[in-house]
Amino acid sequence: MTESNPPAKLDRALLMKDAMRELSAPTRRLFLRRALSLGGLAMLSGCSISNDKSVDSFLKGVSRFNDRVQGWLFDPNRLAPTYPESMITRPFPFNAFYARSQAPRVDGDSYRLEVSGLVADKHSWTLPELHQLPQVDQVTRHICVEGWSAIGKWGGVRFSTFLQRIGADTSARYIGFKCSDDYYTSIDMATALHPQTLLTLSYDGQTLPREYGFPMKLRMPSKLGYKNPKHIAALFVTNTNPGGYWEHYGYNWFGGS
């Protein structure tokens, strides 16, 4: 995909955005998953793919395009489905870039959540302080790109409530997360403010277990598994896209589910 003609590319993107608005949500999803394939987009953008390098930059272009389309399509008021507790998957699957036994052991007593970037209040948060904020819980489906999904119950603080408490600049574009296992990822502000995005402290009514992200993870039913960081040690508000661990290896950054 050449960068020489950005206005034309944008026009196509805008046309697409309008076209997508006319479709029902399930049709849009199907369109994104199936029709926006390599061939489909090659036709739309009219570029030729002749060697490995152009394939690579083409795919990066597709992924960036997808980020934009997904960002546009994201409806801050649409809720992901919730389920009865009888449908909770037991035992809940574990996944990380290492084996279960290697999940980090974080000491809850000395834990401090570091907060930085475009926020008014940069003080670090202890676990009891986080527990003092209003708590909610929800039963939602976690979808992993590796081909499994599972229903779980997560409880904690609405992330929008937390962002408000720290005086985050909610006109900023991104929130970045650093985890104690060296995982990292980042999300868009619209998703951060979504009512189902939870700063999660509990799983299935109990303290969040070690392997599922103790002491704290971010749970977003609107995003794929890899966008849900476990063992969060620090978060920051920024206008520079911080990327992510799997995103660095080519997973789509927006990662909507």
Ligand X SMILES: Nc1nc2c(c(=O)[nH]1)N[C@H]1C(S)=C(S)[C@@H](COP(=O)(O)O)O[C@H]1N2
Contacts to Mo ion by CB under 5 A = 144, 225-226
Q: Tell me the residue ranges of DSSP E strands in the chain.
A: 114-117, 136-144, 148-158, 174-179, 184-188, 198-203, 206-207, 217-219, 232-238
**What number of chain residues touch ligand X (CB under 6 A)?**
16
- Quick check: 250 binds ligand X (CB under 6 A)? no
Find the part of the chain contacting ligand X (CB under 6 A) among 52-60, 72-80, 190-198, 227-235.
Answer: 227-235
Dihedral sign for Cα 87, 74, 190, 13, please. positive
CB 156 within 8 A of CB 198: yes
CA 143, distance to chain mean position in Å, is 11
- Quick check: 215 binds ligand X (CB under 6 A)? no
Torsion of CA 196, 170, 231, 224, to 10 degrees: 50
Closest CB to ligand X among 45 and 140? 140
3-state secondary structure of 123: coil
Output the smallest distance, CB 230 to Mo ion, in A.
11
**Rounded-to-integer distance, Cα 60 and Cα 49, Å:** 13
Over its C-alpha atoms, the chain yields an Rg (Å, rounded) of: 19
Output the smallest distance, CB 51 to ligand X, in A.
31
Joined tokens for residue 250 = 């080519």
Interface with ligand X (CB under 6 A), residue from 69, 179, 201, 233 = 179
- Quick check: 183 binds ligand X (CB under 6 A)? yes
- Quick check: 225 binds ligand X (CB under 6 A)? yes
The amino acid at residue 53 is K
Q: According to CB under 6 A, which residues from 95 to 154 bind ligand X? A: 95-97, 144
- Quick check: 42 binds ligand X (CB under 6 A)? no
- Quick check: 88 binds ligand X (CB under 6 A)? no
CB 181 within 8 A of CB 191: no
Interface with ligand X (CB under 6 A), residue from 138, 228, 252, 257 = 228
Q: Is 39 exposed, middle or buried (0-12, 13-18, 19+ CB in 10 A)?
A: exposed
CB 232 within 8 A of CB 177: yes
Find the part of the chain contacting ligand X (CB under 6 A) among 59-67, 87-95, 111-119, 161-169.
Answer: 87-95
Closest CB to Mo ion among 93 and 209? 93
Output the smallest distance, CB 50 to ligand X, in A.
34
Closest CB to ligand X among 45 and 228? 228
Binding mask 45-84 for ligand X (x = CB under 6 A): ----------------------------------------
Maximum Cα–Cα distance for the chain, whole Å? 58
Element (H, E) at 235: strand 232-238
Instruction: Give me the residues that bind ligand X (CB under 6 A), please.
Output: 93-97, 144, 179, 181, 183, 212, 225-226, 228-231
